[in-house]
Amino acid sequence: MLMLFAVVAGVLMTVASRKLAFRTGFLNYPNPIVAQHVLPVPYLGGVAVALAALATLGAGWFYPDLAPVPVVSPSPLLLVGSLSFLIFGLIDDAFPWSPFNKLFCQSGLALALLLAFHPGEVENTSYWLVLFMYVIWIVAVVNAVNFTDVCDGLVTGLCLVSLVAVAIVRPNHAF
């Protein structure tokens, strides 16, 4: 039942964010870089996904009988990190940055979040190596999703497939 709630929440949030983007003019207009856009494409899809995910998590917490497995509370790192990257993406949509500046800021944001929520043995060399690998992973995944964000619904569909795969492998973490 919670899966159905997630789908409905996703559709409703997408429709609402699309209308808001058109109403406010927060659109990606056709340009030579993204040639398949012949009409303006609304931004704010990430906001729709985030709101639908939060609504689904909230429904799972308040109504645990809706979920086939217990809903695991996300870590503060996941929530703060997701919100931070969402805000960064919105700023980049409104005021595009150069690729170098974007990678530099994304790496700094990932590092700051990891250090804030998982401080470790600073003298330990392997700690810094693992931290570096986490930063690379986070920035790679964020940009992999961002690179596929060229047509309406593609990112959501790809993320859905990925999350279904995670749900199959780790059913207790599905929601």
* pLDDT for res 51: 92
Q: Is the pTM of this model over 0.85?
A: no
* pLDDT for res 131: 87
Query: Mean pLDDT, 10 residues at a time, over the chain (175 residues)?
Result: 84 91 88 72 86 87 76 77 90 88 94 80 74 92 80 73 80 65
Taking 3-state DSSP, the helix, strand and coil percentages for the chain, each rounded to the nearest 5, stand at 70, 0, 25
Distance CA 27, CA 42 (A): 4
* pLDDT for res 151: 66
Q: Among residues 99, 145, 136, 97, which one has the least CA distance to residue 114?
A: 136
Q: Where are the beta strands (DSSP E) in the chain?
A: 27-28, 41-42
Q: How far apart are the first and last CA of the chain?
A: 12
Taking only Cα atoms into account, the Rg of the chain, rounded to an integer number of angstroms, comes to 18
Q: Which pair of structure tokens corresponds to residue 132?
A: 């570096």
* pLDDT for res 121: 64
Counting beta carbons within 10 angstroms of the beta carbon of residue 37, is it exposed (0 to 12), middle (13 to 18) or buried (19 or more)?
middle
Q: Which pair of structure tokens corresponds to residue 141?
A: 């995944």
* pLDDT for res 108: 94
